[in-house]
Chains A and B, each alone.
Chain A
Amino acid sequence: MTLGFYPGCSLKGSSREYAESVLAVAKAFDINMEEINDWNCCGATAAHNMNKELSLALPARILSLAEKQGLTEIVVPCAACYSRLTVTKYELSKDPALKTAVTDANGLEYTGSVSVLNIVQMLDKYITPNLEGRVVKPFDHKVACYYGCLLVRPHEILKFDREEDPQSLDVLMLKAGATPIDWAFKTECCGAGLSVSRTSSVGRLSGKIIGDAKDRGAEAVIVACPMCHSNLDMRRDAINSYLGEKIDIPVLYITQAIGLALGLDRKALGLQRHFVKVSV
C-alpha cells in the first residue's frame, strides 16, 4: 500500500534520522511512502508569529500539491508541521473568505480533501494491528514518553489524545515491550522555537523535562517531534549545565524505538546521529 508523505525541513536536515526510521519501519510493513512533489516549508513558528495569511498559505500549498498528486492521506511525522497543516485545514474550512485569499495567493486549487496523520495515528492505523507478532527484540526498558505541545494541543482542532496525561505513545511503547513510567512533564514545552534565539530558556525548560525523567528512573525518553528531539538531545550541554549534573539518558524517536523492537539495523534507524549516545 501507499501513503502520502510530508517530511518537512527538519527531517531533511538536522533530524534526518527521524525520516530514516519512519521509512525503515514503513518498509518493514510493506508501506510505500510517497513524498509530495516539490513540497515547501510549512512556515513553522516564524510564519504564524509574524504573518497570519502567510502561515496559512504555505501549508495550504502543501495540501493542494498532495491533492493534485491524488493522495488522500498524508503522514506528517514532525509535530510542528502536523499542527500547522491541521490548523490550516481547520481555519480554511470555517472561513470561506480566508480560503479564497489563500488560494488566490497560492494560485492552486484547494478542496481540503486530504487527511493529515501524525506519526502516532499512522502507526496506530497501519503498524500496531500487526506489531505483536513482529517484535523480535522487545524494547525492555523504562521509558518516559514525551508528547510535547503540538502533538496534543489544541485539542479543539487536533482532536487527538488527551491534553493532560496523553496515553497514545505509552500504549505503543508497551506493545514494543517497554515499561512506560508515570511522570509529570509529558506535555510541558521544551522551549521549541527559542532554541537558537534564547538557548538559556531552552536549557531551563528542557532541563526540567530531562531531570524529571531521570528522577523517576527512565532509561530513555521517547519523542515524536524533531524540535523536541533537538532540544532534548542536541541541547544536552545547556540542560546539564542548568541541572548541574551530567545526565546521559538518550532520546529516541518513537519510530527508532519501534524499529529496534522489530530488530531493524541500528544504522538504518540513524541512532549514530544522536548527540547523546544511544546505549539502550
Chain B
Amino acid sequence: MSSDTHHSGISGLGEEVLGHTEVKVSQCYQCGKCSAGCPLSEEMDYPPSVIMRMLQTGNPDLEDKVLRSFSIWVCLTCEMCFARCPMSIDIPKMMDFLREKSLNEKKANPKAKEIVAFHKSFLDSIRFTGRLYEIGLFVDYKTRTLKILDDLALAPKMMKRGKLNIIPELIKDRSGVAAIFRKSNKKNKN
C-alpha cells in the first residue's frame, strides 16, 4: 500500500465501492449515527460506522475482514443509516455491493449460512416459476440448512387461514424470466 493511495482516503475496496455505487467512504467522519440508529448493530461483529472506518484505512487485512463479516449479512437494508447520515452516505447501497462481492469471492461469513440459504432458496423459487412459491421456498430452505423442525407448526396454521398455496402460480413466460437470471448471472457465479 503506497502512502499516496492511502492519503487520498480511497483505495482498494473503498475505490471499488466508489466505482460500483458512487459511495465515497472518505466522506464519513465517524459521527456514529448509523451505528446508533441501526436496529441490528448489537448483533453485528462490526457496526456500520466501524465498517466505514475499516474501508477508509485501505488496509487489505481489514478489507478482507469486512467481506468476511457477519454485519454485511445481518444488515436488513432498512435504510435507517442512510436516512440519518449527515453526509448522506448511501450505506445500504454499499452493503449490497459488499454482499455480492463477498459471495463471489466465497467469503460469506459462516454465521450467515441461514441468511444466504434463504436468499438462494427465494431466488431459485422465482427462477423456475416466475413468482414466489412459498411452500417450495420453505422446503428448499430446509433442505439447504437442515433446519427441518423450525416453523413446522406455522405451515398448518397458515394453510387453515388460506395463506399458503398448495399449487405454485406459474407465469406463462417462464423462459423469459429464466433468461433474465441467466444473463444477470453471467458476471456473477451465484
Q: Mark A residues whose CB is within 8 Å of B.
A: 9-10, 12-16, 38-41, 43-55, 57-58, 61, 104-107, 149-150, 153-156, 163-164, 187-189, 191-194, 196-199, 201, 205, 234, 272-275
Contacts and interface: CB of A to CB of B under 8 A. Distances in A.
Interface stretch (B10-18, B23-31, B52-60, B167-175): B167-175
A252 to B, nearest CB: 15
Nearest to B21: A52
29 contacts: A12-B169, A14-B158, A38-B130, A40-B171, A41-B132, A46-B123, A49-B77, A50-B100, A50-B120, A51-B100, A51-B190, A52-B97, A61-B180, A106-B176, A149-B78, A149-B79, A149-B80, A154-B79, A164-B83, A189-B76, A189-B78, A193-B77, A194-B115, A197-B117, A198-B114, A234-B154, A273-B161, A274-B161, A275-B157
Contacts of A149: 76, 78-80
Contact of A107 (B162, B164, B176): B176
Given A51-B190, A198-B114, A105 B179 contact: yes
Given A201-B40, A201-B43, A201-B74, A46 B122 contact: yes
B30 to A, nearest CB: 22
Interface string B115-143: 10111101100100011101000100100
Contacts of A51: 100, 123, 184-185, 188, 190
A106 B175 CA distance: 11
A251 B100 CA distance: 35
B91 to A, nearest CB: 10
Contact of B172 (A38, A155, A199): A38
Contacts of B77: 45, 48-49, 193
A54 B185 CA distance: 8
B183 A104 contact: yes
B83 A9 contact: no
B181 interface: yes
Nearest to A60: B180
Given A38-B130, A52-B100, A188-B39, 5 more contacts: A13-B163, A43-B123, A153-B78, A192-B78, A199-B151
Contacts of B114: 197-198
